[in-house]
Amino acid sequence: MNILGIIVIAAICTFATRITPFLLFGTKKGVPDAVSYLGKVLPAAIMGVLIIYCLKNVSFTVSPFGIPEITATIVVILLHQWKRNTLLSIAGGTILYMLMVQNFFNSLFSVFI
């Protein structure tokens, strides 16, 4: 019964977040200038914050010297420039990073430690 309740609450919350903009702005009113401005500025700002957050604990003085993180970041940028698909970019970078950390760099640098 708890699972059904959770699903119902999640469905109601999802529906509420989807319908709220239509209730606030309607079809007759235009979107306010502040909301349009935030729609243009926030995606780039959020990406900047995510990049800083993802790379904040990378140590360039200890093995593997940030190589997996920088390589995965470059792959994400290149994939996004090539295909303009956010899901492909994030998935490609994440898969590459996980493969490097769990396979290549784990075995390579464990010899030197």
DSSP 4: H
Dump the DSSP string for 60-83. Answer: SSSTTTTHHHHHHHHHHHHHHHHH
Task: For residue 12, tell me if it sits in a domain.
Answer: no
User: Does position 40 have pLDDT exceeding 80, yes or no?
Assistant: yes
pLDDT of residue 111: 55
Task: For residue 68, tell me if it sits in a domain.
Answer: yes
Task: For residue 14, tell me if it sits in a domain.
Answer: no
How many domains are contained in the chain? 1
Please give the residue range of the domain that contains residue 92.
Answer: 46-110
Task: For residue 63, tell me if it sits in a domain.
Answer: yes
The neighbour count for residue 45, using CB atoms within 10 Å, is 10
76-90 pLDDT, tens digit each: 999 999 999 989 999
Task: For residue 9, tell me if it sits in a domain.
Answer: no
Task: For residue 66, tell me if it sits in a domain.
Answer: yes
Dump the DSSP string for 9-72. Answer: HHHHHHHHHHHHHHHHHTTTSPPPHHHHHHHHHHHHHHHHHHHHHHHTT--SSSTTTTHHHHHH
Distance, CA of 29 to CA of 22 (rounded, Å): 10
Where residue 69 falls among pLDDT bands split at 50, 70, 90? very high
Instruction: Indicate the helix (H) or strand (E) that contains 97.
Output: helix 86-99
Task: For residue 89, tell me if it sits in a domain.
Answer: yes
